[in-house]
Amino acid sequence: MIGVFDSGIGGLSVLAALRSAYPAADLLYYADTANLPYGGRSPALIRRFAKEAGKQFGGWGADCVQVACGTVSSLALDDFAAAAGCPVSGVVLPVVDAITRDGRRRVLILSTEATARSRVFDAALTAKRPGVATLSLGCPLFVPLVENGFFAGNDPALLSLAGRILAPGQTFFPDAILLGCTHFRLLAPLISRLFPGVPLYDCGEAAAGAVPERFGRGNGTLRVYVSDDPERFRLAAERTGSLSPGVPITSAAGE
């Protein structure tokens, strides 16, 4: 069974990619909605959340877990893996490999505040390609906006707000934008309007291809768990079209 973890709906794009790549795989998605969003929390609290989530996957018997949360991937992947007791991969290295493979030299990194402070993406990029210029911007409003359905690329108010948040990036003149949080893919049309012609690299999309094929065999089952309020999660997921109607969503707290 392949597990996918995120704090909310952001990782559903990774889940969809895995379902497409491995239609026979047994998949389990877990969103820690009770503690969403992670990005403004302290590193110690993020590590605690990661350990608790890892234990959940260990209890469910996951064979491997794809952590779709950029914040956990940046600050607490080892804590998560130790608690899960199975192979675990994050979203940092696959997207860094894609950017360096394409020869990008000026990379704007958009992420949560905690990820931006960690500078994990910056360090991975410079280690892989010395001389690359990076600028990390923490975007604390982006995850709540997406979770509440505000991500339309043609919304003038949203475009104005995003323009203020991303203003430092516009004077950086990037040749690539790294979306370091899987929630941010839903804001891609908006971001592209502010940075026309600049390619976007989605950390979740890149990571979905990193799950080994040997874990792709099974009966094609799908289970979805949340740590709080299944109906709120369903509404958020349905706004994005990233989860098929009728998929049961279960509260992990009720187990």
- C-beta separation of 21 from 214 below 8 A: no
Cα–Cα distance, 115 to 121 (Å, whole number): 8
Task: Kindly state the helix (H) or strand (E) to which residue 134 belongs, with its residue range.
Answer: strand 133-138
CA 232 to chain CA centroid, Å, is 19
Cis peptide before 37 (omega within 30 of 0): yes
CB-based contacts of 126: which residues, under 8 Å, 6+ apart? 132, 134
Q: Give me the amino acid identity at 133.
A: A
Q: How far is the CA of 85 from the CAs of 5, 61, 152, in angstroms?
A: 15, 9, 39
Task: State the catalytic residue, choosing from 64, 86, 139, 181.
Answer: 181
Cα–Cα distance, 211 to 246 (Å, whole number): 26
- On the 0-12 / 13-18 / 19+ scale of CB atoms within 10 A, 24 is exposed
Task: State the catalytic residue, choosing from 64, 69, 86, 139.
Answer: 69
Catalytic site includes residue 69: yes
Cα–Cα distance, 16 to 30 (Å, whole number): 14
* Catalytic residue IDs: 69, 181
